[in-house]
A and B are shown apart, each in its own frame.
Chain A
Amino acid sequence: MQFEDEPLVPGQRLPIRPGHSSFGRLERVLRAGGFAVTAEIAPPDSANSAEVYERAALYDGYVDAMNATDGSGANCHMSSVGMCSLLCRRGYAMVMQVSARDRNRIAIQGDVLGASAMGVASILCLTGDGVDVGDHPQAKPVFDLDCMSMLSMIRCMRDESRFLSGRKLTEPPPVFLGAAANPFAPPLDYRPLRLAKKVAAGAQFVQTQYCFDIEAFNRYMAAVRDAGIHEKVFILAGVGPLASARSAEWIRGNVPGVHIPDAVVRRLKGAANQQREGVNICIDMIHRIREIEGVHGVHIMAYRQEHWVAEIVERSGVLDGRRPWQPPLDWKNAAWDRGHPAVTNAPGRQAMEKVS
């Protein structure tokens, strides 16, 4: 979807439409009733921006927004603020993940202001994995906030224009607020209520954990619909390709909160090409998820399998022929982030400045 009011210069904000919280494309697609596609972009273990751009380019034209993860699995990588900063300048729509594990309320509120100023339109509030599962188990677990208090804190910054302390902001951050949901972890009958609580705390969209168990997800969504929660929040179901039966076994044994039914593992084991079968399973899941009432999109998590995302989106037909924004080819290799004079004086920028 190319919006008619796309800025001529990448990285400039789109206008905020009436009734919208943010200038982001993700919110626009969702509020327009589109079936949205988001994907996780894994930050590199590197200080090289080129690696970030290469990873993002894999998704060009296939996703409505990218999630920059924040030390996922409690492993150290480039920060989500850094990822978003680089990619927003090129015009990408970003969902900045913020984990409560590593930063306290002072740091998080500062990051929210900084990120919004840099062009981040959507923020996903997470409690985060415990430090024990990551590569720095000696680290101090901060957990000053949890996902819920973080949601209400950022909502307060946006809607009431003040910090948690009460001090006023001169300009609030216009952000679209998200949260995560895991429909598959105990206590199962509390999970729909937990989603309702996140909505009450400020969540406008949620991205779920991997949905490999469609029956369980159906039961969850039925409870969500009964409570009318699907009308108050956009729900993006988590999907992703499994690399092999062995990796599926490993994931369900070692990654907290991921539930993979035996049938899926059996299907992978029986396949001649397990990696291809993993992609096929993912596409099947997307088809089945699309039929569930109250689901507004999918969130593709393809860690170390990012090269499959384009094919998954293409073959599943999940976009219905819609083509999400992608950077124009001539922008890609421009010296944009180096403040090149040819760029700073570009006619497009002058035009934008006149408009604003």
Chain B
Amino acid sequence: MYRMRRWSVRNARGLKKLYSAIERILVWCHPLLRRIGFARLDKPFMRIESLTKGFLLDSRNCGQCIVGFTGLSCPMNCPKKMRNGPCGGVRADGNCEVKPEMPCVWVLAWEGNQRLREEEIPLQVVQPPVDHQLIGRSAWLREVRILVEDSSHAV
């Protein structure tokens, strides 16, 4: 159970590098993507994202991916949808309070974070609440648009 999730946090460093590489490529492709049209690309992108991220991270397609901050552990798998760290109910064995058979996503996130070996602990960035309008849309396209365009146009 949850083998891929565990594998992903163990390989957080490599996956984060891969993630940044994809990001760079997409940023480079931005003019092309814009010409095709972001709205038109959303569906095909989502198909790729839910296949890859779904397999590796059990992604929930929130459309505003922050796994780069959470040691490659998808916080949307938390039954309380906590995006800013573990609740106080984590069991002594590191499993979830609500789903006793599942490792707490934040215990995994902390493990992944330590593998990232970054100076600033990314886990410490306070994440805003989920924008429910973005759920089910492509997080990668959104990220690219935030990076390239003014963030106010990105949504």
Contact = CB atoms under 8 A, between A and B. Distances in A.
Interface in A125-154: 127-130, 132-133, 141, 143-149, 152-153
B124 A147 contact: no
Interface stretch (A38-46, A179-187, A228-236, A292-300): A179-187
Contact of B124 (A145, A180, A200, A257): A200
A190 B86 contact: yes
B97 interface: yes
A70 B14 CA distance: 43
A212 to B, nearest CB: 14
A98 B91 CA distance: 23
Contact of A127 (B87, B121, B123): B87
Interface in A159-209: 164, 180-182, 185-187, 189-190, 193-194, 196-197, 200-201, 209
A190 B110 contact: yes
Contact of B82 (A127, A189, A193): A127
Contact of A257 (B80, B89, B94, B132): B89
Nearest to A132: B98
B44 interface: no
B86 A143 contact: no
A148 B85 contact: yes
B83 interface: yes
B128 interface: yes
A196 B110 CA distance: 15
Contacts of A100: 80
A101 interface: yes
Contact of B107 (A101, A149, A187): A187
A256 B97 contact: yes
A146 B94 contact: no
Given A130-B98, A146-B81, A257 B121 contact: no
Contacts of A194: 85-86
Residue among A181, A190, A196 having the largest count of chain B Cβ atoms under 10 Å: A190
A25 interface: no
Interface string B87-104: 111111110011000001
A90 interface: no
A82 B127 CA distance: 31
Contact of B84 (A149, A187, A189): A149
Given A130-B97, A147-B84, A148-B127, A187 B110 contact: yes
Contacts of A200: 124, 126
A143 B84 contact: no
B104 to A, nearest CB: 7
B126 A259 contact: no
B130 interface: yes
B106 interface: yes
B107 A148 contact: no
A144 B62 CA distance: 13
Given A152-B126, A186-B92, A197-B126, 18 more contacts: A105-B129, A127-B82, A130-B80, A133-B97, A143-B82, A148-B83, A149-B84, A181-B88, A186-B90, A186-B91, A187-B90, A187-B111, A190-B110, A193-B124, A197-B84, A200-B126, A201-B84, A257-B97
Interface of B: 79-94, 97-98, 104, 106-107, 110-111, 121, 123-124, 126-130, 132
Interface of A: 100-101, 105, 127-130, 132-133, 141, 143-149, 152-153, 164, 180-182, 185-187, 189-190, 193-194, 196-197, 200-201, 209, 256-257, 259
11 contacts: A127-B82, A130-B89, A147-B84, A149-B83, A149-B127, A182-B89, A185-B86, A185-B88, A185-B90, A186-B90, A196-B124
> Shortest 9 CB-CB distances between A and B: which pairs?
A182-B88, A256-B89, A148-B84, A130-B98, A257-B88, A256-B97, A187-B110, A149-B129, A185-B90
